[in-house]
Amino acid sequence: MSFTATLECARGLDEADVLAGFRERFEMPHDAHGTPLIYLCGHSLGLMPRAARTLVTQELDDWGSLGVLGHESARRPWIPYHENFVAGLAELTGARAHEVVAMNSLTVNLHLMLAAFYHPRGKRRKILIEAGAFPSDRHAIASQLEWHGLDPHRTLIELAPTAREDAVSEEEIEGTLQQLGAEIALVLWPGVQYRTGQAFDLARIASAAHRARCLVGFDLAHSIGNTQPALALSGADFAVWCSYKYLNAGPGAIGGCFIHERHLGTASRSHLAGWWGHEPTTRFLMRPEFHAAAGAAGWQLSNPSVLSAAPLIASLEIFSEARLVRLRAKSLQLTGFLEFLLEHLAPAVRIITPAEPAERGCQLSLRVDGARHVFERLGAAGVVCDWREPDTLRVAPVPLYNRFEDVWRFSERLVQVLGSTA
């Protein structure tokens, strides 16, 4: 196995790739000399769809030429702006259209969902999350527990893996729910774990939670646009996500929520309200009573930031043309190719992401000594990936814009960097 042979293989795979043309729809970051960087960081911030510039400019132009009249007369009127996202988000999350809404940002949405779904009562007060959860999720959960007058040390269960070092199995989650379920009010789990890249079987986790009579929500930050979450089928009660990673909607872009239809409708309304969630035909009568709009749209609080939401329209259009099922098929090949190259050419690197394709998305997490130093050397060699304390490099080839050759170039440079730092 040589680098030369595998480069030919990478180029052959790129030539055969029916999705290769989508790369042209994105801006490619480059260095100070204009040389394109090897960008494998879509798990952190996705690349900019070229059409995003046009869409944002159109909104600025409409604002400039129409002022307040743009609420109704912009080419995409601002009052029903959230409707632009419904079909695309439903498709990517496997939800029914009335179950999804683009609004706020991820942590804000998580708090809103916890306000609606976390009701500690009697013995059932605890929340189950994974050990090593993304800090913002843990902060949100711990602060909600405290807000209810509870001590997180006693009421937060953080499940660590026992059989495998870096991956919690669904069996372990089921076991915990069987054992402690009567004390658990709510389960919050990631679709894909941010540090390890492990993807979970959401339907299995949701049914285990429901068997134990717990509510269950998912954080899809690393899953949406990457894996196929099938939320409606999973039966999850709620989910939240951001759209700046695999959804390519730009830094700080609008987030999103899924609320299962069993929780929708005024009869079961238990969420915090704001005027943008008001039924639209009577919203501007400015009456004091709140009448929720149908579906997840009724959970909106404020009028959305059109400028931060516009790029998502460009991105969802690309997803709808490329189709998630084809992207996932290419993603399995791309990430499999990365794994193959690392196993054969960089055996010192330990891949901590599960090897089973169903248990991962685009990302591979690599345990390397001195990860930060390796990351810096890779950066100097024109590679954009990232690292997380203490020793994990995260690398994600994204099927919309990465080529097999990018994966090859990354692997070659990693081997060089490791060789020179050994």
Ligand X SMILES: Cc1ncc(COP(=O)(O)O)c(C=O)c1O
> Where along the sequence are the contacts to ligand X (CB under 6 A)?
105-107, 134, 136-137, 190, 194, 219, 221-222, 242, 255
Minimum CB distance to ligand X, residue 345 (Å): 30
Instruction: Tell me whether residue 107 or residue 365 sits nearer to ligand X (CB atom).
Output: 107
Contact 25, 49 (CB under 8 A): yes
Contact 248, 225 (CB under 8 A): yes
Instruction: Tell me whether residue 22 or residue 238 sits nearer to ligand X (CB atom).
Output: 238
What tokens appear for 87 in the block? 């079909």
Minimum CB distance to ligand X, residue 398 (Å): 15
Minimum CB distance to ligand X, residue 65 (Å): 32
Minimum CB distance to ligand X, residue 240 (Å): 8
Minimum CB distance to ligand X, residue 243 (Å): 9
Instruction: Tell me whether residue 241 or residue 319 sits nearer to ligand X (CB atom).
Output: 241
CA R_g for the chain: 22
Instruction: Tell me whether residue 218 or residue 404 sits nearer to ligand X (CB atom).
Output: 218
Minimum CB distance to ligand X, residue 129 (Å): 11
H or E element at residue 258: strand 256-259
Of 110, 46, 74, give the one whose Cα is nearest residue 316. Answer: 46
Instruction: Tell me whether residue 242 or residue 351 sits nearer to ligand X (CB atom).
Output: 242
Instruction: Tell me whether residue 106 or residue 216 sits nearer to ligand X (CB atom).
Output: 106
Of 188, 175, 197, 82, give the one whose Cα is nearest residue 140. Answer: 188
Minimum CB distance to ligand X, residue 330 (Å): 23
State CA 305 to chain mean position distance: 20
Instruction: Tell me whether residue 6 or residue 227 sits nearer to ligand X (CB atom).
Output: 227
Minimum CB distance to ligand X, residue 284 (Å): 30
CA distances from 273 to 278, 302, 305, 325 (A): 8, 9, 18, 36
Of 201, 255, 247, 240, give the one whose Cα is nearest residue 226. Answer: 247
Contact 36, 25 (CB under 8 A): no
Residue 216 to residue 181: CA distance in whole angstroms: 12
CA distances from 122 to 58, 89, 183, 264 (A): 54, 37, 9, 26
Instruction: Tell me whether residue 155 or residue 223 sits nearer to ligand X (CB atom).
Output: 223
Minimum CB distance to ligand X, residue 156 (Å): 16
Residue nearest to ligand X (CB): 107
| Residue 274: DSSP 8-state | -
Minimum CB distance to ligand X, residue 250 (Å): 12
Peptide bond into 80 cis (omega under 30): no
Instruction: Tell me whether residue 167 or residue 417 sits nearer to ligand X (CB atom).
Output: 167
Instruction: Tell me whether residue 13 or residue 220 sits nearer to ligand X (CB atom).
Output: 220
Q: What is the largest CA-CA distance in the chain?
A: 72
CA dihedral 85, 97, 20, 314 (to 10 degrees): -10
Of 371, 374, 421, give the one whose Cα is nearest residue 391. Answer: 371
Query: Coil, strand or helix: which one is 185?
Result: strand
Question: What is the layout of strands, in order, in the sheet containing 256-259?
Answer: 100-102, 256-259, 238-241, 215-219, 184-190, 126-130, 156-159
Of 258, 223, 266, 265, give the one whose Cα is nearest residue 237. Answer: 258
